[in-house]
Amino acid sequence: MCEWCGCGQPEEHHGHSHDHNHSKIIELNKSILEENNKIALKNKEHIEALGAVGINFISSPGSGKTTLLQETIKRLKPRTKIGVIEGDIETQRDAQRIREQKVPVVQLTTGGACHLDARLVHKGIHQLEHELDDNNLNFLFIENVGNLVCPASFYLGEHKRVVLVSVPEGSDKPAKYPKAFIDADLFIISKIDLLDYFDFSIDEAKKEALKLNPKLDIICLSSVTGKGMDEWINYLLNLIKKE
C-alpha cells in the first residue's frame, strides 16, 4: 500500500456518509504535496549548485529505464560528468548496473512506497556528493520507482521529466495514465526493435500523448539496436548548452 495515497486500503461501510473523511484525506494530501514541493525547490537549487541538469525518469516496471541509462552514460561519459540516483522498493540491483559504468550512483530504497519524494531525493543528493571528485556535474539522472501513477504527482526538483512507455506495454498508456504525460517534458517510446512482435501503434501513442500535452517532445528509440539514440543524446546535450 502506498504510504501517501493509501491505495489498496479497504474502504469501510457503516451505513453513513464518509464525506468528512474524504475531505480530511484531500486536505492531508494537499499538505503533503505542498511540503514536498518546498523541498523540491531546494533540491533544484542544490542540483544547479552542482552545475547539473536534473532529469527524472518515470515509467512502468520493465520499460527499459536502467538499460537506457546504461547506454546513455556510455555515449555521454567521454564528454560530460554524470551522477545517478536510483529509486526502487528494494535491492541495490539497478545501482550495481549503473556502478559498472564507473559513474557516481546512490540507491534509494523506499521499503514499500511506490514513488520517490523530494525529501528522499534530498538525502540522495547529499549521499551522492560524497562520491563526487569535485562537486561538479553536468547531469543528475533520477530513475524513479517503476510506476506510472504516484511518481507523476511528486516533483523532485528536476529540470526535465521524462516518461517512458515500451512497445510491449501497449500504445494506450497515455490515455490510461494521463497525469504522467501532462506534466512530462519528453515522451520516450522505448524498445522499438520489438514493433514487429507487438500490436503497438506509434501514431496512436503520439496522438494520445500530444492531446494531453501539445508541447511534449517525443523520441522513439531502442537501447538495444541504437536506433533513435543519437536524437536522445542530442536532446540532452542541448540542455547543457542552454545553461
pLDDT in tens, 200-215: 999 999 999 999 999 9
Helix, strand, coil percentages (3-state) for the chain, rounded to 5, are 45, 15, 40
Domain CATH for 185: 3.40.50.300
List the domain range (segments joined by +) for residue 218: 19-241
Kindly state whether residue 8 falls inside one of the protein's structural domains.
no
Whose CA is closest to 97, among 239, 2, 230, 223?
223
pLDDT value at position 113? 86
Residue type, position 108, single letter: L
What's the mean per-residue pLDDT of the chain? Answer: 91
CB 169 within 8 A of CB 60: yes
CB 49 within 8 A of CB 106: no
The average pLDDT across 5-32 equals 55
Kindly state whether residue 4 falls inside one of the protein's structural domains.
no
pLDDT at position 219 over 50: yes
Kindly state whether residue 2 falls inside one of the protein's structural domains.
no
Kindly state whether residue 14 falls inside one of the protein's structural domains.
no
pLDDT value at position 110? 92
pLDDT at position 36 over 80: yes
CB 62 within 8 A of CB 146: yes
CB 59 within 8 A of CB 87: no
Kindly state whether residue 129 falls inside one of the protein's structural domains.
yes
Confidence of residue 29 (pLDDT cuts 50, 70, 90): confident
Kindly state whether residue 1 falls inside one of the protein's structural domains.
no
The average pLDDT across 56-69 equals 97
- For the chain, the domain total comes to 1
Q: How many Cβ atoms are within 10 Å of 241's Cβ, its own excluded? A: 7
Kindly state whether residue 170 falls inside one of the protein's structural domains.
yes
pLDDT value at position 243? 54
Residue type, position 132, single letter: L
Kindly state whether residue 3 falls inside one of the protein's structural domains.
no
The average pLDDT across 76-104 equals 95
